[in-house]
């Protein structure tokens, strides 16, 4: 017997960079998911098959041995090793696991790929050892794996991947989760340019230290957009959401975190009828998002592709992490 777990990716609607200082970030789970299938081993190795991501290998005594792909990829896979070990430690069991990782979420572009895989791993290993983990436990144990990749993550990504829906996060405040009664379609444009969230946060901090009288006002404005935007989201006021997205993108550009590639996709989406378009995540590459009425979604997708972006249509997802037991012959 094996256990399959899946978890959603995410996108940030409002609040990038301001959330580092003050004001909420509004984060949405999307219907692109990561899938992990876990099975037991006779030894204590953690074997990870992530071939669709370009690498695989195993951990023995926390030492990584590459079987395909570059050995330095072990840093990415070590989050799954840590999550697996933390689950077994939490449950008071010992053993090894095989993990087969498949993901519909592009890596390192701000869509929560690492968190979704980490959450799915935690849930799968927990179910494999009959742990009956609560979602709160899954989120907390996954966070230990996320630390390996991001150092001091906020905890937003692993919580959204665990619980799904809409999440409001503000420093020093508990997470707030919401469900949306009606679907809202978005188009994601991926520049395919990977970036470092940490480096971008550091660059904004440096700019703020040099120009506090200007940057503080930008930070406050982005925080205000998040608060107004959450209300517009609940009212499904697409025009208001779009206006706020456009303003938000301008403010993020003023902080220096947009790029020519991101701007090209943002303006291409607007030309094709998007009510609003902005970068999502830390910037410096990665993705932008656009919201529009249904009749314009296909045109926006084509506009993004004409400008060398990867187009991904998504809906919001209220479904967080899920698990199921499968027979060896099941796919």
Is 52 strand, coil or helix?
A: helix
Burial of 326 (0-12, 13-18, 19+ CB in 10 A): middle
Residue 157 annotated to the active site: yes
**Beta-strand (E) ranges in the chain?**
2-14, 25-41, 46-50, 55-60, 63-68, 96-103, 166-169, 176-178, 185-190, 276-280, 287-291, 310-315, 322-326
Q: Going by DSSP bridges, is the β-strand pair 46-50/96-103 parallel, antiparallel, or unpaired?
A: parallel
Other residues' Cβ atoms within 10 Å of the Cβ of residue 126: 26
Distances (CA, A) of 38 to 143, 191, 323: 19, 32, 11
Q: Give the Cα separation of 9 and 27 in Å (integer).
A: 10
Write the CB contacts of 7 (distance below 8 Å, at least 6 apart in sequence). 33, 34, 115, 116, 117, 119, 120, 123, 161, 162, 320, 321, 322
Q: Which of 31, 157, 202, 243 is catalytic?
A: 157
276-280: strand order across its sheet: 276-280, 287-291, 185-190, 310-315
Catalytic residues: 157
């Amino acid at each position: 017997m094996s256990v399959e777990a899946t978890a959603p990716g995410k996108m940030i609607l409002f609040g990038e960079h301001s959330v580092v200082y003050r004001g909420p970030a509004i984060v949405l789970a999307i219907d692109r998911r990561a899938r992990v299938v876990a099975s037991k081993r006779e030894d204590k190795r953690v074997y990870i098959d992530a071939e669709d991501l370009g690498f695989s290998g195993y951990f023995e005594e926390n030492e990584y041995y590459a079987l395909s792909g570059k050995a330095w990829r072990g840093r990415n896979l070590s989050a799954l090793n840590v999550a697996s070990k933390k689950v077994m430690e939490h449950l008071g069991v010992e053993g090894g696991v095989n993990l087969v990782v498949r993901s519909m979420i592009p890596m390192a572009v701000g869509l929560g790929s690492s968190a979704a895989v980490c959450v799915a791993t935690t849930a799968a290993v927990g179910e494999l050892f009959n742990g009956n983990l609560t979602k709160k436990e899954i989120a907390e144990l996954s966070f230990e794996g996320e630390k390996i990749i991001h150092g001091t993550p906020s905890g937003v990504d692993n919580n959204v991947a665990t619980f799904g829906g809409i999440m409001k996060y503000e420093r020093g405040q508990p997470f707030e989760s919401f469900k949306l009664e009606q679907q809202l379609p978005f188009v994601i444009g991926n520049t395919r340019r990977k970036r470092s969230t940490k480096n971008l946060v550091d660059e904004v901090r440096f700019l703020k230290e040099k120009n506090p009288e200007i940057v503080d006002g930008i930070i406050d404005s982005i925080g205000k957009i998040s608060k107004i935007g959450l209300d517009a989201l609940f009212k499904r006021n697409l025009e208001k959401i779009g206006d706020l997205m456009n303003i938000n993108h301008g403010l993020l550009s003023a902080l220096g975190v947009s790029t020519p590639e991101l701007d090209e996709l943002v303006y291409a989406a607007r030309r094709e009828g998007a009510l609003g378009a902005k970068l999502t995540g830390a910037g410096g590459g990665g993705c932008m998002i656009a919201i529009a009425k249904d009749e314009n979604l296909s045109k926006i997708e084509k506009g993004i592709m004409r400008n060398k972006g990867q187009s991904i249509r998504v809906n919001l997802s209220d479904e967080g992490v899920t698990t199921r037991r499968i027979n060896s012959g099941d796919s």
